Amino acid sequence: MEQLGIEPKLLIAQLVNFAIIVFVLQKLLYKPILDMINKRKKEIAEGVSLTEKMRVEEEKFKEKQEKAMAKAREDAMGIIEEAKKQAKEVEKELVADAHTQAAAIITRAKEEAAEVHKTAQAALRKEAVELATMMARRLLTSIMSAKEQHAYIAKRVKDLESWANRV
Amino acid sequence: MLRISLPAETLWTLWGLPISNALLTTWIVMAVLIVCSIVATRKLSMKPGTFQTLAEIVVGGLYDFFGSISGSFIGQFFPLVGSLFLYILLANWIGLLPGVGTVGFWHGEEFIPLFRGAMSDLNTTIALAVVSVLAMQYYGFKNLGHHYAKRYINFKDPILFSVGILEIISDLSKIISFAFRLFGNIFAGEVLLAVMAFLMPFIVPLPFLFMELFVGLIQALVFSMLSAAFFTIAVAHEE
């Protein structure tokens, strides 16, 4: 034992030394460092779980958004269809109205034309009679007696009347 | 002339306790470990500084490493196996520093080095081995209660009784194997370095120095890993 240098007092001293170092390291190093590592791990785990939760919520939100978008698109398409339908109806109404108005204008124009025609006809007849009377008077004055003139004029007036009625 | 001493040299005696150069180095190792622990944990924060990062890498790495051996019992074993590793490693590496074994004084014709590698003294290695084997018994009884005693004393049948006797011998021999493995490796390394330095002081000892750095790490790892494995076997022991 002595040759190997084993000395009970030194051995006990080394045992005490190691016991002290275990105690001190546990208090000063292991516990605080492991607590800190565990705390950080916990925070990281919480962060990861929060991220996962947020990701799930984001997916849900996206799904909702997509649904809302689809619904909005569908509604918009419905509105557009409805507007088109209404526009067609309005167009039809407008066309019908225009047709009605055009027909009324045409009718009125025809009536006005007929009126003008009638007036012109009367004026022409009157003018023709006056002209014929004047010509006949000049002619008859030169070649016929008063009696013959009256008979001839009367006959011509009759002819003119029948002609005017034909025009 | 080169002189190699198997026992650690006594420097002086304090209240009847012989202060050996290995004990002095042990105190330096302890001081370094305590100072490093204080520096590393002085300002703990979620955003670690350099020392805290280093401490987290070392402690976290050791915790995970020994956790892979001890499983769920790591919480119980870690203060001891972690300390065994750090203490042995630092003692081995400090033993390689210049001045250790070379700085000292003359006592008559004899040169007494002031410092000596802590693990090149059998008192240190036996103390650690005793701690390891006693801790094994402590954890065994703590976790298995009186059933743990059946590992050593079992009267159920002659075979189990013989196995119990063998277990006692095996556990006692663990003290010797633990202590002498560590002492032998470190002491042999120191002798090798001393011989190399004596024969060729420059360059040549360097590869051996690096090898001893590696041996120091391996021995620390072997001692602490075996302790962790024995503790785990002790708590998992079932008849």
Residue A162 has what pLDDT?
86
Residue B239 has what pLDDT?
46
- Does residue B123 surpass a pLDDT of 90? yes
Rounded CA separation A11/A1 (Å): 12
For residue A165, with 0-12 CB atoms within 10 Å meaning exposed, 13-18 middle and 19 or more buried, which class applies? exposed
Q: What is the DSSP string of chain B?
A: -----SSPPEEEEETTEEEEHHHHHHHHHHHHHHHHHHHHHTT--SS--HHHHHHHHHHHHHHHHHHHHHGGGHHHHHHHHHHHHHHHHHHHHHTTSTTTTTSEEEETTEEEES---GGGSHHHHHHHHHHHHHHHHHHHHHHHGGGGGGGT---S-HHHHHHHHHHHHHHHHHHHHHHHHHHHHHHHHHHHHHHHHHH--SSTHHHHHHHHHHHHHHHHHHHHHHHHHHHHHHHH---
Rounded CA separation B160/B166 (Å): 10
Most confident of A150-159, B4-13, B18-27: B18-27
Residue B1 has what pLDDT?
60
A22 and B79: CB-CB below 8 Å?
A: yes
- Does residue B75 surpass a pLDDT of 80? yes
Residue B94 has what pLDDT?
94
Place of tokens 């002609």: A163
Rounded CA separation B84/B90 (Å): 10
Q: Which of A59-68, B77-86, B191-200 has the lowest mean pLDDT?
A: B191-200
Give residue B237's pLDDT band: very low, low, confident or very high (50, 70, 90). Answer: low
What percentage of chain A reaches a pLDDT higher than 90? 69
Is A36 an interface residue toward B (CB < 8 Å)?
A: yes
Dihedral angle at the C-alpha atoms of B66, B70, B76, B81, nearest 10 degrees?
A: -40
Q: Is residue A2 part of a domain?
A: no
**pLDDT tens, B206-228?**
999 999 999 999 999 999 999 99
Are B216 and B93 in contact, with CB atoms under 8 Å apart? yes
Is A41 an interface residue toward B (CB < 8 Å)?
A: no
What percentage of chain A reaches a pLDDT higher than 70? 98
Residue B157 has what pLDDT?
87
Give residue A6's pLDDT band: very low, low, confident or very high (50, 70, 90). Answer: confident
CA atoms within 13 Å, Cβ hemisphere of B76: 18
Query: What Cα–Cα distance (Å) separates residue B65 from each residue in A5, A31, B51, B68, B225?
Result: 35, 17, 21, 5, 9
- Burial of B73-109, coded b for 16+ CB within 10 Å and e otherwise, reads bbebbbbbbbbbbbbbbbbbbbbbeeebbeebeeeee
Rounded CA separation B101/B51 (Å): 30
For residue A29, list chain B residues with Cβ-Cβ distance below 8 A: 37, 40-41, 55, 59
- Does residue B78 surpass a pLDDT of 60? yes
**pLDDT tens, B94-119?**
999 988 888 888 888 888 888 999 99
Q: Is residue A13 part of a domain?
A: yes
Q: Is residue A140 part of a domain?
A: yes
- Does residue B11 surpass a pLDDT of 80? yes
For residue B163, with 0-12 CB atoms within 10 Å meaning exposed, 13-18 middle and 19 or more buried, which class applies? middle
Q: Which domain holds residue A111?
A: 8-166
Query: What Cα–Cα distance (Å) separates residue B30 from each residue in A16, B136, B216?
Result: 12, 24, 17
Arithmetic mean of pLDDT, A153-157: 81
Task: Kindly give, in sequence order, each residue whose CB lies less than 8 Å from that of residue B78, ignoring residues fewer than 6 positions away.
Answer: A30, A34, B62, B63, B66, B67
Task: Kindly give, in sequence order, each residue whose CB lies less than 8 Å from that of residue B49, ignoring residues fewer than 6 positions away.
Answer: B43
**Chain B: closest CA distance from residue A51 (Å):** 20
Residue to test with chain A: of B15, B52, B76, B83, most A Cβ within 10 A: B83
For residue B212, with 0-12 CB atoms within 10 Å meaning exposed, 13-18 middle and 19 or more buried, which class applies? buried
Q: What share of chain A is helix, strand, coil (3-state, %, to 5)?
A: 95, 0, 5
- Of the two residues B147 and B79, the one the predictor is more confident about is B79
Domain boundaries, chain B: 17-236
Arithmetic mean of pLDDT, A144-154: 77
Residue B2 has what pLDDT?
66
Number of compact structural domains in chain A: 1
Is B79 an interface residue toward A (CB < 8 Å)?
A: yes
Cα dihedral sign, B160-B162-B165-B171: negative
Q: Is residue A156 part of a domain?
A: yes
Residue A100 has what pLDDT?
94
Most confident of A107-121, B100-114, B140-154: A107-121
Is B70 an interface residue toward A (CB < 8 Å)?
A: no
Are B81 and B228 in contact, with CB atoms under 8 Å apart? yes
Give residue B176's pLDDT band: very low, low, confident or very high (50, 70, 90). Answer: very high
Is B32 an interface residue toward A (CB < 8 Å)?
A: no
B65: tokens are: 């490493």
For residue A36, list chain B residues with Cβ-Cβ distance below 8 A: 44, 46, 48, 52, 56
Arithmetic mean of pLDDT, A128-139: 82
Rounded CA separation B46/A162 (Å): 127
Average pLDDT for chain A? 90
**Cross-chain CB nearest to A33 (options B16, B30, B41):** B41
